[in-house]
Structure 1
Amino acid sequence: MTDTQYEPAHTGLLLVDPYNDFLSEGGKLWPLVEEVATEVGLLDNLRAVTAAARAAGIQVFVVPHRRWREGNYANWNYLNRDQAGGNEARIFEAGSWGGEWHPDFAPQESDVVVLEHWAQSGFANTDLDFQLKKHGITHVVSIGMLANTCIESTSRFAMELGYHVALVRGATAAWTREMLHAAHELNGPTYAHAIVTADEIVAAFKGTQAA
């Protein structure tokens, strides 16, 4: 259980990569994550955490991966495996259903949609740090996809920039149980200030709302 105080004026919920390709039946990546996502109750936990954050007046920041567009990686040096595979499969293709938001996690009018990140960190080559600072955010809570790539890279970067970082078990997933275990039990404690369950962060947000 966390004893951290998540003051609405200074807390940001980072909702990372909530695309159909990741989270919806029929998405290109859903078959790869479905088993782990179902096991941890991913979609229900994401719904609960985002609803609790909004009810408490906590600012939601949507942190999206770069949508596939023709020529995205033309003449690039050093594509990594995920970039090469995503380029070939046209993951999160702009203008396609897979590149649209999962309907339950589409940005609301009050949300901040950050510039798309090209690799794994939601901070690199985007305006995320600027937006957080302009909104007075000191504490970030990271949810979305994937636990061991974009969630981990974005959250590590947040720690390096001086933010308090919370990871949420059940509100993220990975291709395998081993990857999810590594993200929370091995790597997470080296940079996160809190690693909590979805129920715990919902309770913390509700406690803030009641206060």
Structure 2
Amino acid sequence: MKKLTLVSIVLLFANQIFAQLPDPGFEVDAKTAIVITDPQNDFLSPEGATWGVVGESVMSNNTVENLDQLFKIAKEENITVFVSPHYYFKHDHNWQIEGSLEALMHKINMFNRTGVLTTVGFENSGADWLKQYKKYIGETNVIVTSPHKVYGPESNDLALQLRKHGFDNVILAGMSANLCTESHMRDLVESGFKVAVVKDATAAAILPGLNGYEAALVNFQMIASHVFTTEEIVTEIKNFKKQ
């Protein structure tokens, strides 16, 4: 029999522990809100700027329909939804410091708007909401925050709006999984919110050797309080409202 070294014993013990990560769980209550990142054409429409790299993941996860289910159950059960959008204006294209995907987004004119104080050219643009979500986003239970500028909500008022409205718990979904969605999860967790992620109500780019969705799933599991499917969280919301 092969003799176990101290290092191999430690590694074996560590593998046993991490093979059974604790699941803190997540219960829907009166202080729970839904947060949806970037439900916009450039991510979710076949005509969108990123469809060539995110389309496979969006279709595989049934992301468009699953997000629709979240908007729908929120409307039916009067759950507050916060939409955190991504917009770029003319002055944003003068940035001198950019990461890889920031540079790409500016290059392909992703989420472009003509101006901060105008909606000229916004309707049906890449920055606009996916058409089927408009009937929900215009409702009184939906709050649209100021835009985030890179990936996380550090640059917008999402956390402020959640706190001012008395919410402690967040059901998180939207686009894209390993960028804005994951960044929102990380910042909200570090801001003291309890966060659950809906893993099939998001998607991400798939490139040669780079699968953004698979990368995000690892971090959702390691960081969030719980990871739901859309079917599971819809059931949780319905059960809470029956109480």
TM-score normalized with structure 1 length: 0.91
Q: What CA deviation, in whole Å up to 9, does each residue of 1:43-79 have, x standing for no partner?
A: 11111122112222210001001x23223132x3321
Q: Does structure 2 conserve the Cα–Cα contact (< 8 Å) formed by 1:56 and 1:208? A: no
Give the equivalent residue in structure 1 for 2:111. 92
- Cα displacement (A) at 1:130: 0.9
Letter in 2 for 1:40: N
Give the equivalent residue in structure 1 for 2:46. 25
Give the equivalent residue in structure 2 for 1:6. 28
Distance in 1 of aligned mates of 2:111 and 2:205: 17
> Which residue of the other structure, out of 78, 83, 92, is the alignment partner of 1:72?
92
Distance in 2 of aligned mates of 1:46 and 1:93: 23
Give the equivalent residue in structure 2 for 1:114. 145
Q: Secondary structure at 1:61's aligned position in 2?
A: strand
Distance in 1 of aligned mates of 2:59 and 2:214: 15
Distance in 1 of aligned mates of 2:103 and 2:26: 40
TM-score normalized with structure 2 length: 0.80
Q: Secondary structure at 1:156's aligned position in 2?
A: helix
- Cα displacement (A) at 1:210: 1.9
Give the equivalent residue in structure 2 for 1:210. 242
Map 1:37-186 to 2 at 5 A: 37-65=58-86, 67-74=87-94, 76-94=95-113, 95-96=121-122, 97-106=125-134, 107-110=137-140, 111-121=142-152, 123-176=153-206, 178-184=211-217, 186=218
Q: Secondary structure at 1:162's aligned position in 2?
A: coil
Distance in 2 of aligned mates of 1:148 and 1:22: 13
Aligned length: 206
Distance in 1 of aligned mates of 2:159 and 2:79: 17
Gaps of 5+ in 1: none
- Cα displacement (A) at 1:2: 9.3
Q: Structure 2 vs 1, CA of residues 2 and 105 (structure 1 numbering), >3 Å: closer, same or farther?
A: farther
Q: Structure 2 vs 1, CA of residues 3 and 54 (structure 1 numbering), >3 Å: closer, same or farther?
A: farther
Q: Does structure 2 conserve the Cα–Cα contact (< 8 Å) formed by 1:11 and 1:137? A: yes
Q: Secondary structure at 2:33's aligned position in 1?
A: strand
Gaps of 5+ in 2: 1-22, 114-120
Q: Structure 2 vs 1, CA of residues 172 and 52 (structure 1 numbering), >3 Å: closer, same or farther?
A: same
Q: Does structure 1 conserve the Cα–Cα contact (< 8 Å) formed by 2:26 and 2:225? A: no
Q: What CA deviation, in whole Å up to 9, does each residue of 1:171-205 have, x standing for no partner?
A: 00011283212211x21233200111111001111
- Find runs of 4+ consecutive structure 1 residues off by over 6 angstroms: none
Q: Does structure 1 conserve the Cα–Cα contact (< 8 Å) formed by 2:24 and 2:225? A: no
Distance in 1 of aligned mates of 2:48 and 2:90: 20
Distance in 1 of aligned mates of 2:211 and 2:110: 24
Choose 124-133 or 47-56, whichever is displaced more.
47-56
**Larger RCO: Structure 1 or Structure 2 (Cα < 8 Å, ≥ 6 residues apart)?**
1
